[in-house]
Structure 1
Amino acid sequence: MKRLLAIGLLISSLFSCTSQDESLEIIDPIYFPSITDDDWETESIDNLNWNKAKLEPLLTFLEDNNTKGFIILKNGKMVIEKYFNGHSNTSIWYWASAGKTLTAAMTGIAEDDGYLNLNDKASLHLGSGWTSAPLAKENLITVSHLLSMTSGLDDNLGDDVSPENLKYVSDAGTRWAYHNVYVKLQDILASASKQTYVSYFNTKLRDRIGMTGTWIKLGNNSVYWSNTRSMARFGLLSLNNGNWDGSQIVNKNYFQKAVSTSQPINQSYGYLWWLNGKSSYHLPQTQIEFQGSLIESAPDDMYCALGKNDQKIYVVPSRNLVIVRMGESAEGENFALSNFDELLWQKINTLLN
């Protein structure tokens, strides 16, 4: 009798919940393209009830601002895929600092594989003397400090990451500064996994989600180059918290940390990801704290990979959107955020609304 009563109460509560909130949104499943071919299901703007009249103005704006490739995914399906200025779906282009998020993902994978801990001293994997800081200060720098841009090393000395160019400014964790020293994470991953960074990356991330592309050494930087669809694939993995069609590529808990504020100085920075909707932000090459959201016109829950000269991956969980832009700089050289982000989102909003 007690069991029947419990079942009855459960059924009653289910009906009660349904009647009290008929407005519960049905979440569409995320679609994932095959990793063995480049076929990609599409979705019509008409089916999404977007403002189709605003598409051409958006595309004109993109072309006029030196864009090469542009993609919008909704629920994983391709809604818009356009190429401009001599680019095509097979052309490759550089990710610049948007590729930092690839290294962040690989760091999470390495932690999950048991190769390292985020609290490890960087010198545990790089050896002593990888900076010119006093040894006691160098030993304060951990893997997590490199991920969060809080190494305390001087960011005014250029991209060179040789020891003589990595000079102490403040204790690790006390100062946020956008610094090329993050590339030392790739050396840490190679040392910890006992293989080349490229081999580890290809096996554990690139090939598992059907990306193409390669890392190319440019001066002191290792820069990822790929077609636009590969950038969209990584954006889709990120939209789904590191899971690709049921396979957890990047540990979910780690990924959620990566797209959350990583330190108390720059609210809008995670583990090499930029975060929208926070109360303040810092930008590269300045210690000024700016008030307000990173990109005012963009959704508050958006996180983004931002690269030099306007390489962009925008991920918006609340709308199941991934938006990718590759190309030349829209308006003068920049390191990450630019005025183009705000202008682009104003145009995107007219399409979505």
Structure 2
Amino acid sequence: MKKISLLFILVTSLWSCNSDDGNSSNEEAMYFPPIGSSTWETKTVASLGWNETQVQPLLDYLELKHTKGFIILHNGKIVMENYFNGHSATDPWYWASAGKTLTATVTGIAQQEGYLNINDKVSDYLGTGWTSAPLAKENLITNKHLLTMTSGLNDALGDDVSPANLQYVANAGTRWAYHNVYVKLQDVVAASTGQTWNNYFNTKLKNKIGMTGLWATVDGNLSVYNSNTRSMARFGLLALNKGKWENNQIVPESYMQNATTTSQNINLSYGYLWWLNGKSSYHLPQTQFQFSGSIIPTAPSDMYCALGKDDQKIYVIPSRKIVIIRMGDAADGSNMALSDFDEVLWEKISAVIN
């Protein structure tokens, strides 16, 4: 009889432990808005126990700082969605360099499908002469170097990525520099798949998660993505869920894990075209100086971000199951990615969600 009682207690204890873990049936499942529909389920600030009194100060600050679109998702559902300064839910806006993460994501899909390997030389796909670097130096540059901003090419020559403007400065892998040469990955994807970049992007990513928008050519050879704010939120939700949309693993989970963790030992706060918070040091665009501390000290340490010129932002916070989107004009002066706006914005956000 004692053995039966002990067994019952053990089974009951195990059931109790399992019911409290992160995978319990009581936990709210991640929500995904339906494809091809404007329907998107919502929840309230009050239902999450957040601070309702701090919502208006956040909205006032966003409007003051030239924001156009702002969304907070929790577990996939919209908690806040606001538009300012004449913008609407259907109006497109440019992602700027926040769209680099789209290129990184599609590169991972193409690798999963066997079209390319990120450890291969770029010249294996584009042929030699895609830079003006000496051949031996050009052949050091892999797709992964483009993903991690460590190509060793000169970042001081502007956005032009024609061969004449891609000049050798250091051996690939030895120098971190924020450079639009990453866009050559789109050419690698096109060459390896035998499809146009737009077609492969649309069929493998955009259409599968219900995004709208299109790539626009800027300065003759740089593609910049434009979409409405909800489409940016859909992509952020995919990233939060480790590359999986409902039951469809669109991007390999292992690739997404690598993309959103430190990718090299020079800039600890950089993955595969994603910025990483909570690291011990970081580099910024257009400088070789190493700064101590986290890129956004006021934000959660596990956050990773897609950051674009003039304060286009995707913030992903796995520990809180939160995605935050900000689109608009520059909050203050024009900037490449990070700005002081990030820190103050996170003070305002934290006052709401904590």
What is the TM-score with the length of structure 2 in the denominator? 0.95
Going from structure 1 to structure 2, the CA distance change for 1:9 and 1:175 (only over 3 Å counts) comes to farther
Partner SS state of residue 207, structure 1: helix
Report the Cα distance in structure 2 between the residues aligned to 1:120 and 1:74, rounded to whole angstroms: 38
How far does residue 14 in structure 1 lie from its aligned partner after superposition? 4.5
Verify: 1:134 aligned to 2:134, yes or no.
Answer: yes
Q: Which amino acid aligns with 1:233?
A: R
Report the Cα distance in structure 1 between the residues aligned to 2:8 and 2:294, rounded to whole angstroms: 45
Report the Cα distance in structure 2 between the residues aligned to 1:215 and 1:36, rounded to whole angstroms: 19
Report the Cα distance in structure 1 between the residues aligned to 2:345 and 2:283, rounded to whole angstroms: 21
What is the CA RMSD across the aligned residues, in angstroms?
Answer: 1.7
Report the Cα distance in structure 2 between the residues aligned to 1:307 and 1:124, rounded to whole angstroms: 30
Q: What residue number does 2:339 align with?
A: 338
Report the Cα distance in structure 1 between the residues aligned to 2:176 and 2:112, rounded to whole angstroms: 26
Q: What residue number does 1:296 align with?
A: 297
Q: What residue number does 2:35 align with?
A: 35
How far does residue 28 in structure 1 lie from its aligned partner after superposition? 2.7
Verify: 1:308 aligned to 2:289, yes or no.
Answer: no
Report the Cα distance in structure 2 between the residues aligned to 1:103 and 1:272, rounded to whole angstroms: 8
Going from structure 1 to structure 2, the CA distance change for 1:12 and 1:61 (only over 3 Å counts) comes to same
Q: Which amino acid aligns with 1:210?
A: G
Report the Cα distance in structure 2 between the residues aligned to 1:201 and 1:170, rounded to whole angstroms: 32
How far does residue 272 in structure 1 lie from its aligned partner after superposition? 0.2
How far does residue 15 in structure 1 lie from its aligned partner after superposition? 3.2
Q: Which amino acid aligns with 1:249?
A: I
How far does residue 22 in structure 1 lie from its aligned partner after superposition? 8.9
Q: Which amino acid aligns with 2:333?
A: G
Q: Which amino acid aligns with 1:53?
A: T
How far does residue 228 in structure 1 lie from its aligned partner after superposition? 0.2
Q: Which amino acid aligns with 1:138?
A: E
Report the Cα distance in structure 1 between the residues aligned to 2:7 and 2:299, rounded to whole angstroms: 41
Verify: 1:77 aligned to 2:96, yes or no.
Answer: no
Q: What residue number does 1:105 align with?
A: 105
Going from structure 1 to structure 2, the CA distance change for 1:61 and 1:10 (only over 3 Å counts) comes to farther
Q: What residue number does 1:181 align with?
A: 181
Aligned identity (percent) is 64
Q: What residue number does 1:203 align with?
A: 203
How far does residue 221 in structure 1 lie from its aligned partner after superposition? 1.4
Partner SS state of residue 37, structure 1: coil
In the alignment, which of 7, 12, 22 is matched to residue 15 of structure 1?
A: 12
What is the 5 A alignment of 1:1-353? 12-17=9-14, 24=21, 27-219=27-219, 220-353=221-354
How far does residue 16 in structure 1 lie from its aligned partner after superposition? 3.5
Going from structure 1 to structure 2, the CA distance change for 1:188 and 1:10 (only over 3 Å counts) comes to farther
Going from structure 1 to structure 2, the CA distance change for 1:172 and 1:10 (only over 3 Å counts) comes to farther
How far does residue 38 in structure 1 lie from its aligned partner after superposition? 1.4
Going from structure 1 to structure 2, the CA distance change for 1:77 and 1:21 (only over 3 Å counts) comes to closer
Partner SS state of residue 59, structure 1: helix
How far does residue 45 in structure 1 lie from its aligned partner after superposition? 1.0
How far does residue 82 in structure 1 lie from its aligned partner after superposition? 0.3
Q: Which runs of 5+ in 2 are unaligned?
A: none
What is the TM-score with the length of structure 1 in the denominator? 0.95
Partner SS state of residue 79, structure 1: strand
Q: Which amino acid aligns with 1:15?
A: T
Partner SS state of residue 37, structure 2: coil
Report the Cα distance in structure 1 between the residues aligned to 2:176 and 2:6, rounded to whole angstroms: 54
